[in-house]
Every structure is written in structure tokens, then in C-alpha cells.
């Protein structure tokens, strides 16, 4: 299974000034000569085949990158001077429904990703969760865990641990042959993820996870936690190397001070050194980047120098963030929903489009100071494609399509409908007069578009701490529709936040009853609209009428054929006249757009496009006001914010 190509040794003729930079090639000889364990550590150093090994790592999750670009991104990591890739694994994509495994899908082929990493001269560190945070939908948990009676995630709970065990065993089956003990690139496996900030006292849970991982992997385990005593105390596990994240200065000091159990001690690793920040949707929210921020860059360089000059280890979070394709983003609850954008650019050294940034070269120069041999030449950036305006015509009203419908006296949640992501439409035929403030269950989960007799009355949007108050006046015969969007389940909650723990309350759609004034509305027709399949390209040509709710727009463009590599077709798709919606290109879901920003265009990987042929764009616009929209491919990415047409008066 592990292919060792000659290319590997050619790429890897490097060694560090002060410490061995072990390579696949070096390893091949070392394994035969020494009895030293493949990868271990003493009090101060990681040891690869007995030689000190400094991890110069970077996080890059396979499942946020088009598989056809995995090798490109890995090679660029290597050329920046990284020797190790850290990757989370998103359980919800591997097992989207209980017992339904999608391990074989190209985008979930973690083993392939690790093999490519090895071929590119990199080691890997596995961060399998089951909870990974990562600004992913519900921290990577599959939605269906929320439907299992008595199951409590992230705790010593039998139903949860049983299912976690099944997942981890399935994953290990595939990844075990790629451990360094077997000649593969896998060095270490993380236990849970920053558990100490979630619960300071559930040690039986993390110990159970440790035991599951120990039974399935031969390489060392580690934990990664915040840099204060209570998080380290809560997250560290006996017998497992305890590491920190955030500032390496604070983290290493905290590790030295607060971790005293010798079975948790070893070399220092900053397991998540933040290169910047993820973005959240919001009229006032910026795109985070170090571009033009000399002070931020200087701090990063200082921190990196601090780590490397001390012979310690680091992993950049993120080296390359990638994209939350297909509604994969998570959210935070802060008395309002802070939903992460489709882009997970993160201000990382390698941009969302896989192009190197200034930060990339700054970090490369810094790392190079610690390496005797010159790093491989970084690739030049391939220009992005510009696609002139494409006219999209209104083709089909969302509410005219047929979805799975359920009738119920009171609303059912998205999870009760057996639905993972997307939208739920709740429809009520009014039989009794009702007037007053409309309350969509216990709160908006997360964004509710209200229609009376097909006319939009307003939006109740939980991304605001004080969502709009929508009052309606209903008389018998009226039709009320509530289109409820899951903006991403909450992926992180901290014990000290003082806020409700939405990790334990991930439910979407409507929870509780809908009331108008003092009336409880009973009898609903509920449609599941997961949009997990691309809408059919053969949408009927009914020229949907504007004003009747969301509309699918369709258009196409033909590309020339003089392209030699998919990256020449990479672009950013903007729908300048759109308010909020989803874009598919050739059936591939690029994710959500939203005029409020900061993201104003969606990354379209060239791998999705067909050179020399016609390419189809489908846009679901939630708030259409015209028979046509335009889309264009931008060769120059623009970030920014616009006012929210749906908030306030
Ligand atoms: C490693 O650290 C432990 C605990 O701090 C100490 O007892 C032991 O002597 C150290 N080992 C070496 C080789 O320094
Ligand atoms: C968990 O797994 C064990 C061992 O397979 C089994 O005996 C037990 O019934 C399971 N518990 C639940 C709640 O699924
Ligand atoms: C933390 O874990 C303990 C032990 O399982 C549990 O009693 C407690 O409710 C948990 N706390 C939170 C906030 O989940
Ligand atoms: C850190 O926390 C642990 C566990 O709560 C406690 O025993 C210890 O005294 C604390 N250490 C310091 C230095 O505060
Ligand atoms: C780092 O390792 C090198 C080589 O072993 C050694 O010469 C140097 O003193 C070490 N530096 C520190 C700060 O430990
Ligand atoms: C959130 O709301 C609660 C209850 O109204 C309040 O106690 C808390 O301070 C608020 N927290 C933030 C971060 O606004
Ligand atoms: C909705 O009403 C509440 C309670 O009266 C108020 O605090 C809030 O500001 C209102 N929201 C808006 C957007 O006006
Ligand atoms: C919803 O309303 C019905 C009828 O008034 C009531 O029986 C039911 O308990 C309510 N459900 C909730 C969650 O309040
Ligand atoms: C849809 O109708 C328009 C106007 O009648 C026509 O130009 C277009 O070709 C039709 N598209 C499809 C896919 O049938
Ligand atoms: C393809 O041909 C067009 C038209 O001649 C030209 O503008 C474009 O630069 C070419 N693209 C590539 C990648 O060569």
C-alpha cells in the first residue's frame, strides 16, 4: 500500500543545520540498520529512527481541498520548509448516515492523501477527532448522532463511545499501514481536540478514547490544549504526551509549569500556531489577513524563531485552509450565530486558491535559516481565469420542486426529518385568525424567511443578537411559509464562556411550536430541502416568476481548449446582484454566498471546469428580484461588505 518512489529521495536531499531532518529516504536505510523505534520521544526531543526530529508542521485538511490538488498543495508545503502535515478528519463526511461509509469517495481518501504526502517528502500527524472543532459543521460530528437516544457527544457515554469506536476502527483499518512503524509517513495521532476547554473533569472519556486509539495505532498519541492550567488539567491524559496551542511562548511555559505527570511530558510542540483567523459572515466582519500588517507578520516570525531556535516543534494552523464546499462550515454561538464563511482562507500562507502569498515567502525565508540545504524552489503562481459576465435566467421556483414532505401537528426538527444540512420549509394553511409577533419555535435556527401568501414578509436571522421582530396578521385561507436555513451547526463551546452549550443542542429547523401573538399554529406540511444533490440540470424551463420565493437561475459558458493544467481554470465566482444563495458549477456545490460579506466570491477550482466545452452554473438565489442574474469569474479576488437588505427597517 505504501509506495516509495525514487522521486521521494530526489526531493529530499535536505538536512537541518542543527538537527536531523529525517526523510523517507533516510528512513529506508535506518529501518534496516537500527532497532530504534520508528518514532518516539525522550524528555526534550522527538526521535525518528533514533535521531532528533523537529516537527516543522502545517495544518491542511484533505477534506477541504479538491483531491486533484492534494499533491500541488503538499509540494508547496514542502517548498515552504514544512516536514510534516497535520490533518483533521471529518467524520460527518466519512459516515454521512449511520453505517453508510463514504471512505472510498475520492475527497475522503485520507490514505491517498497521506501517501501523496510521503511521496512529496512529508510526514503526517493524524487528528481524527471524533470531535475536531475546526470551524466545521458540528465540529465534524455527523448530524445523525443527535438522533440517537441518550447519546451525549464529547463525554463518557456508552452510545457515543461505541459509535466513536466504530468510526476510529474503520479509519485505523485504512491508515494503520501508513504508520511510520510500517514504513509510512504517519508519526502521531491526537486524542480528542482541546478537550480541556470543553470539560475540565471528564477524564474517563478521554482515557477511553486513548485506549481505543492505542488498540488501533502503534505510533505515539498526544493531546493539544489551551495554555492555561484548567485547560491543560482538563485535556491532558495519563500516558499521552501533552501539548499546547496558540502562543508558543505562553504554551511552552504553561506546559512546563502545569503538566507535572511524567507520563505526559516530552518534547514541546505548538500543535496549532495560528497564522491568522477564520472569517464569519456579517456586515461589519472583516476578512482576516496579514497582508499589509507588518506587526502581525513580525510576531509570527518572532514566534517561529522562538520555537525553532529552541529546537522545539510547531504546526501552523492553517498552512492552507481550503474551502467549506457544500455547506460544510460550522458556527459559534455568542448570543447570536457567528457562521463561518464558505472560504476557509484563514489568512494562511497558502491562499484558498492554492497560490503562495507574501506570508508564505516570509515563513520560508525564516525556516530556511535553520536548514543547511536550499529548500525546493517554490512554484510560481498560475494566473487565475477571468470569465466574462454570464447571464443566468430564472428557471425554476424552489417551492415548485417536489421534496420529501411530512405532515405533523407541531413542527419537526431537521434532525427528526432525518435531514443533515440545508433548509426545511414549514408550511401552514391558516384556519383561525392570528395576529402579532411571529416566533419560529424557541429561537431562529438559524435564519428564517417568512412568506405570507407567497410574499416575503421578512427575515428572522440569528446572526444578529436582536433579530428582526416580524409581525403578521393571518386570516383563514392564508398560507404561511417559513423557510429555515441551517447556517452551520456550532463547532465550539468553552466551559468558561457563560453561554449555552450548543454542542449539546445542535438541532436545526424549528424546535418547539410556532406562535403568532398568543396563537399556537398547529398542522404543518414540512419539506426537507437538503440540496445535497445538485439540482437537476434538466430543470424545467418555466421562467419562474419573481416574488414567489427562492429561484434557481441557470446559465452556461464555454471555455477555450488551450489549457494544460486545471489550475489555469481556477477562478472566483461572483454573483454581483445576488443577496444570498448557493452556487453549483457542473453539479459541484461551491457553497454559500451572501452579499453582507466579507466573502464576495466563491472559489471555483479549475478541476470542476471542462476546457473546450460548455460549463453550467446553477444559482439558488433566496431573495430574487429580477428575471436574470449575472455571474462572473474574477481573476482578482475582492473581499468586502455590503449592507444587509434584510435587517432593520
Ligand atoms: C525525564 O524527565 C523525568 C521527569 O521530569 C526525569 O525523572 C527523568 O530523569 C528525565 N530523563 C532524562 C533522560 O533526562
Ligand atoms: C456498546 O458496545 C458494547 C460492546 O459491543 C455492547 O455490549 C453495548 O451494548 C453497546 N452499548 C450501546 C449503548 O450501544
Ligand atoms: C463534564 O463531565 C462531567 C463528567 O462526565 C459531567 O458530569 C459534566 O456534566 C460535564 N460538563 C459539561 C459542561 O459537559
Ligand atoms: C493546576 O491545576 C491543578 C488541577 O486543578 C491543580 O492541582 C494545581 O494546583 C494547579 N497548578 C497551579 C500552579 O495553579
Ligand atoms: C539545538 O540542538 C543543537 C544540535 O543538537 C544544539 O547544538 C543546540 O545547543 C540546541 N539548542 C538548544 C536551545 O537546545
Ligand atoms: C448572553 O446573554 C445572556 C443572557 O441574556 C447574558 O447573561 C450574557 O452576558 C450574554 N453574553 C454575551 C457574550 O453577550
Ligand atoms: C425586537 O424586539 C426586542 C424586544 O422588544 C428588542 O429588544 C429588539 O431590539 C427588537 N429587534 C429589532 C431588530 O428591532
Ligand atoms: C406545541 O403545542 C401543542 C398544542 O398546544 C402542545 O401540545 C405541545 O406541547 C407544544 N409543544 C411544545 C414543545 O411546546
Ligand atoms: C428556455 O426558454 C428560453 C426562452 O423561451 C429559450 O431561449 C431557452 O433556450 C430555453 N432553455 C432551455 C434549457 O430549454
Ligand atoms: C488561450 O487562448 C486565448 C485566446 O487566444 C488567450 O487569450 C489565452 O491567454 C490563452 N490561454 C492560455 C492558458 O494559454
Do 402-529 and 5-274+288-318+349-368 have the same topology in CATH? no
Q: Which atom of ligand 8 is least distant from the CA of 511?
A: 13
- Angle at 627 (CA atoms; ends 621, 630), nearest 5 degrees: 65
At residue 481, the 3 state secondary structure works out as strand
Strands 514-516 and 479-485: unpaired
Report domain 5-274+288-318+349-368's class: alpha beta
Catalytic residue among 95, 137, 192, 194: 194
The pLDDT assigned to 540 comes to 59
Residue whose Cα lies nearest atom 9 of ligand 10: it is 562
C-alpha cell of residue 287:
476578512
CA dist list (Å): 621 to 330, 543, 604: 21, 14, 18
C-alpha cell of residue 48:
525518528
Fold of 402-529: Jelly Rolls (2.60.120)
Residue whose Cα lies nearest atom 8 of ligand 10: it is 562
Q: Is 3 in the pocket of ligand 3 (CB under 6 A)?
A: no
Residue whose Cα lies nearest atom 6 of ligand 3: it is 202
C-alpha cell of residue 625:
428580484
CA 530 to chain centre: 18
Q: 458 alpha carbon to ligand 8 midpoint, in Å?
A: 25
| For the chain, percent of residues with pLDDT exceeding 70 | 93
Taking alpha carbons only, the member of 396, 417, 397, 415 closest to residue 405 is: 417
How far is Cα 88 from Cα 603, in angstroms, rounded to an integer? 21
Query: Which residues, 6 or more positions from 158, have their beta carbon under 8 angstroms from its beta carbon?
Result: none
Domain boundaries, the chain: 5-274+288-318+349-368, 387-396+535-634, 402-529
Please give all residues whose beta carbon lies within 6 A of any atom in ligand 7, as ranges: 466, 468-469
How far is Cα 455 from Cα 248, in angstroms, rounded to an integer? 55
Least confident residue range of 21-35, 90-104, 416-430, 591-605: 21-35
Fold of 387-396+535-634: Jelly Rolls (2.60.120)
C-alpha cell of residue 99:
453505517
Find the helix or strand (DSSP H, E) in which 167 lies: helix 158-175
Catalytic residue among 95, 119, 192, 272: 272
CA dist list (Å): 127 to 39, 88, 90, 134, 218: 17, 4, 9, 11, 15
| Predicted confidence (pLDDT) per residue in 255-299, tens digit | 999 999 999 999 999 999 999 999 999 999 999 999 999 999 999
Active site annotation includes 257: no
Q: 136 alpha carbon to ligand 9 midpoint, in Å?
A: 39
The pLDDT assigned to 36 comes to 84
- Residue of 335, 337, 443, 467 with the most ligand 6 atoms within 8 Å of its CB, for mutation: 335
C-alpha cell of residue 172:
485505523
CB atoms within 10 A of CB 334: 12
Q: Are 444 and 461 in contact (CB under 8 A)?
A: yes
- Residue of 153, 155, 158 with the most ligand 2 atoms within 8 Å of its CB, for mutation: 158
| DSSP calls for 301-326 | HHHHHHHHHTT-EEEEETSB--B-TT
Q: 107 alpha carbon to ligand 3 midpoint, in Å?
A: 35
Q: 524 alpha carbon to ligand 8 midpoint, in Å?
A: 13
Instruction: Report, in angstroms and rounded to the nearest whole number, the Rg of the chain calculated over CA atoms.
Output: 25
pLDDT level of residue 25 (50, 70, 90 thresholds): very low
Q: 259 alpha carbon to ligand 4 midpoint, in Å?
A: 9
Taking alpha carbons only, the member of 377, 289, 121, 350 closest to residue 640 is: 289
What are φ and ψ of residue 591, in 5° steps? 115, -165
| Predicted confidence (pLDDT) per residue in 465-514, tens digit | 999 999 999 999 999 999 999 999 999 999 999 999 999 999 999 999 99
Active site annotation includes 97: no
| Predicted confidence (pLDDT) per residue in 521-549, tens digit | 999 999 999 998 877 755 555 666 777 79
Amino acid at each position: 500500500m505504501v509506495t516509495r518512489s525514487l522521486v521521494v529521495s530526489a526531493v529530499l536531499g535536505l538536512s537541518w543545520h542543527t538537527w536531523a531532518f529525517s526523510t523517507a529516504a533516510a528512513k529506508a536505510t535506518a529501518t534496516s540498520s537500527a532497532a530504534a523505534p520508528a518514532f518516539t520521544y525522550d524528555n526534550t526531543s522527538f526521535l525518528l529512527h533514533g535521531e532528533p526530529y523537529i516537527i516543522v508542521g502545517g495544518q491542511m485538511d484533505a477534506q477541504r481541498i479538491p483531491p486533484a490538488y492534494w499533491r500541488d498543495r503538499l509540494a508547496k508545503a514542502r517548498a515552504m520548509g514544512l516536514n510534516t502535515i497535520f490533518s483533521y478528519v471529518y467524520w460527518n463526511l466519512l459516515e454521512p448516515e449511520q453505517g453508510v461509509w463514504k471512505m472510498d469517495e475520492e475527497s475522503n481518501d485520507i490514505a491517498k492523501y497521506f501517501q501523496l504526502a510521503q511521496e512529496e517528502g512529508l510526514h503526517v500527524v493524524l487528528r481524527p477527532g471524533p470531535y475536531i472543532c475546526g470551524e466545521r459543521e458540528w465540529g465534524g460530528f455527523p448530524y445523525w448522532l443527535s438522533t440517537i437516544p441518550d447519546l451525549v457527544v464529547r463525554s463518557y457515554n456508552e452510545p457515543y463511545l461505541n459509535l466513536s469506536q466504530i468510526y476510529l476502527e474503520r479509519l485505523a483499518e485504512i491508515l494503520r499501514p501508513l504508520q511510520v512503524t510500517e514504513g509510512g509517513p504517519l508519526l502521531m495521532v491526537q486524542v480528542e481536540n482541546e478537550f480541556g476547554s470543553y470539560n475540565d473533569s471528564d477524564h474517563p472519556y478521554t482515557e477511553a478514547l486513548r485506549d481505543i486509539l492505542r488498540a488501533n495505532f502503534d505510533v505515539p498519541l498526544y493531546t493539544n490544549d489551551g495554555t492555561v492550567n484548567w485547560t491543560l488539567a482538563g485535556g491532558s491524559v495519563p500516558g499521552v504526551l501533552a501539548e499546547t496551542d496558540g502562543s508558543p511562548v505562553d504554551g511552552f511555559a504553561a506546559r512546563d509549569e502545569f503538566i507535572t505527570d511524567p507520563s505526559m511530558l516530552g518534547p514541546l510542540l505548538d500543535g496549532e500556531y495560528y497564522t491568522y483567523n477564520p472569517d464569519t459572515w456579517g456586515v461589519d466582519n472583516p476578512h482576516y489577513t496579514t497582508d499589509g500588517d507588518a506587526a502581525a507578520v513580525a510576531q509570527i516570525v518572532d514566534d517561529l524563531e522562538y520555537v525553532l531556535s529552541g529546537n522545539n516543534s510547531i504546526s501552523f494552523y492553517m498552512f492552507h485552509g481550503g474551502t467549506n464546499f457544500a455547506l460544510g462550515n460550522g458556527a459559534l454561538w455568542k448570543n447570536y450565530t457567528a457562521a463561518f464563511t464558505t472560504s476557509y482562507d484563514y489568512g494562511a500562507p497558502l491562499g484558498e486558491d492554492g497560490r503562495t502569498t507574501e506570508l508564505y515567502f516570509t515563513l520560508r525565508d525564516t525556516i530556511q535559516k535553520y536548514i543547511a540545504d536550499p529548500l525546493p524552489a517554490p512554484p510560481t503562481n498560475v494566473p487565475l481565469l477571468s470569465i466574462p459576465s454570464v447571464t443566468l435566467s430564472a428557471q425554476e421556483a424552489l417551492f415548485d420542486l417536489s421534496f420529501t414532505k411530512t405532515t405533523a401537528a407541531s413542527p419537526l426538527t431537521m434532525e427528526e426529518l432525518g435531514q443533515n444540512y440545508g433548509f426545511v420549509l414549514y408550511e401552514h394553511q391558516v384556519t383561525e385568525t392570528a395576529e402579532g409577533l411571529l416566533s419560529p419555535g424557541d429561537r431562529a435556527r438559524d435564519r428564517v424567511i417568512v412568506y405570507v401568501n407567497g410574499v416575503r414578509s421578512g427575515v428572522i436571522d440569528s446572526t444578529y443578537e436582536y433579530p428582526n421582530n416580524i409581525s403578521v396578521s393571518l386570516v383563514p385561507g392564508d398560507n404561511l411559509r417559513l423557510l429555515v436555513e441551517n447556517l452551520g451547526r456550532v463547532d465550539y463551546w468553552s466551559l468558561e464562556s457563560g453561554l449555552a452549550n450548543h454542542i449539546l443542542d445542535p438541532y436545526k429547523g424549528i424546535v418547539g411550536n410556532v406562535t403568532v401573538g398568543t396563537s399556537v399554529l398547529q398542522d404543518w406540511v414540512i419539506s426537507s430541502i437538503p440540496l445535497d444533490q445538485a439540482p437537476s440540470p434538466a430543470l424545467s424551463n418555466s421562467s419562474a416568476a419573481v416574488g414567489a420565493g427562492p429561484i434557481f437561475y441557470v446559465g452556461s459558458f464555454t471555455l477555450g481548449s488551450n489549457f494544460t493544467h486545471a489550475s489555469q481554470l481556477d477562478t472566483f465566482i461572483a454573483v454581483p446582484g445576488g443577496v444570498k444563495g448557493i452556487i453549483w458549477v457542473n453539479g459541484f456545490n461551491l457553497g454559500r454566498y451572501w452579499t453582507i460579506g466579507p466573502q464576495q466570491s466563491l472559489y471555483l477550482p479549475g478541476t470542476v471546469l471542462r476546457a473546450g466545452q460548455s460549463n453550467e452554473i446553477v444559482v439558488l438565489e433566496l431573495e430574487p428580484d429580477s428575471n436574470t442574474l449575472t455571474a462572473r469569474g474574477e481573476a482578482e479576488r475582492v473581499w468586502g461588505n455590503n449592507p444587509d437588505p434584510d435587517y432593520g427597517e
